[in-house]
Amino acid sequence: MAGSAARLTLTVRDPALAGALADWRAWLADERRASPHTIEAYETDLAGFLGFLAEHLGGDPSLPDLAGLKAADFRAWLAKRARDGLAKSSTARAMSTVRGFFRRLEKRDLLSNPAVRAVRTPKLPQSAPKPLSEQGAREVMANVGAMAKEPWIAKRDAAVLLLLYGCGLRIGEALGLSRARVADMAKGSMTVRGKGSKDRMVPVLPVVAEAARDYLAACPYAGGDNDPLFLGARGKALDPAIVQKEMRSLRRALNLPETATPHALRHSFATHLLGGGGDLRTIQELLGHASLSTTQRYTAVDSAKLLDVYRAAHPRAR
């Protein structure tokens, strides 16, 4: 079985299953608004699963076959993927696709199979965030907006990225700010609404406040205090994709790694603060993390620098 829609449909002989697959594709495209690339990836995952079942069951699977699958059948598929040397991340996505398909079947009252929910997804190693180096962060801030078509857009992009790196905001938090927050920034702090609708107080560096003020003064669109601060070229609320596109352009121009994303600036904020002697609990509050362990994953301080701090500060190291 191949990943394309045509091959997947043609190899399914059970009309009921073929109809369920068509309904699932239409749901992904029309209701979930999944991109063609995403749909193709999901289809590839599901085609691989159905292809395994054809061998495992000794014939092309049908809806009743799917309804009768046991947890051991799903584990056998996972085991085969492991024997084939497929990455755990790929298998985790494939298992998520299969679960999603079975949820759709259950929602449409076509079948119900609790076994698929009983199978654990392969545990993935927790990848540590990759912050920019201090030099890399400085280069980003020095060059942001250099390729913008309009001066006010250059000022906008600079203000957004400075909020991510200078205040540790999430991209959604920065783009969710209202115009009224600019006056607060000038006073040295502002309230930010984060995940779970939790508010936190965030200190604002003068350079960040100045960038926001310069952008607002240059923005050609009027608005009230409660209107979005950051706007797109047509005057609508700025889309996160535009910020991500700016970072991609900066990556290419500055020869930065693929991990240099808008969110990496938030990682960099935390890591550079800790590297400069900041307290982990304080950084937790600034980031708006409920758990200290989450903050620890965000902060990746160079081990050599930590050793230098240790040797300089610990009484027995002198």
117: annotated active-site residue = no
Question: Are both 5-118 and 134-312 of the same fold?
Answer: no
Q: Please determine, for residue 307, whether its predicted confidence score (pLDDT) is greater than 90.
A: no
Catalytic residue from among 155, 266, 267, 272: 266
pLDDT reported for residue 266: 84
**Torsions phi, psi of 241, nearest 5?**
-60, -30
246/291: higher pLDDT: 246
251: annotated active-site residue = no
pLDDT reported for residue 267: 83
pLDDT reported for residue 152: 96
pLDDT reported for residue 225: 92
Catalytic residue from among 170, 181, 251, 272: 170
Give the position of tokens 């009309």: 15
Distance CA 145, CA 157 (A): 6
114/299: higher pLDDT: 114
Distance CA 44, CA 23 (A): 16
pLDDT reported for residue 191: 84
pTM here?
0.56
Catalytic residue from among 42, 165, 215, 298: 298
289: annotated active-site residue = yes
267: annotated active-site residue = no
Domain 5-118 listed as CATH 1.10.150 = yes
pLDDT reported for residue 10: 42
Catalytic residue from among 179, 251, 272, 289: 289
Report the SS3 class of residue 189.
strand
List, for residues 83-94, the tens digit of each pLDDT value.
Answer: 999 888 888 889
Contacts of 36 (CB under 8 A, 6+ apart): none
Q: Where are the domains of the chain?
A: 5-118, 134-312
Taken as a whole, the chain contains a residue count of: 318
Burial (CB count <10 Å: 0-12, 13-18, 19+), residue 315:
exposed
Q: Give me the chain's average pLDDT, please.
A: 84
298: annotated active-site residue = yes
pLDDT reported for residue 224: 93
pLDDT reported for residue 37: 80
Catalytic residue from among 99, 193, 213, 263: 263
Q: Which CATH superfamily is domain 134-312 in?
A: Intergrase catalytic core (1.10.443.10)
Catalytic residue from among 7, 13, 107, 195: 195
Give the position of tokens 């698929």: 116
Longest dimension (CA), the chain: 78
Range from 50-64, 83-97, 110-124, 283-297 carrying the lowest mean pLDDT: 283-297
88: annotated active-site residue = no
CA angle 217, 220, 225 (to 5 degrees): 60
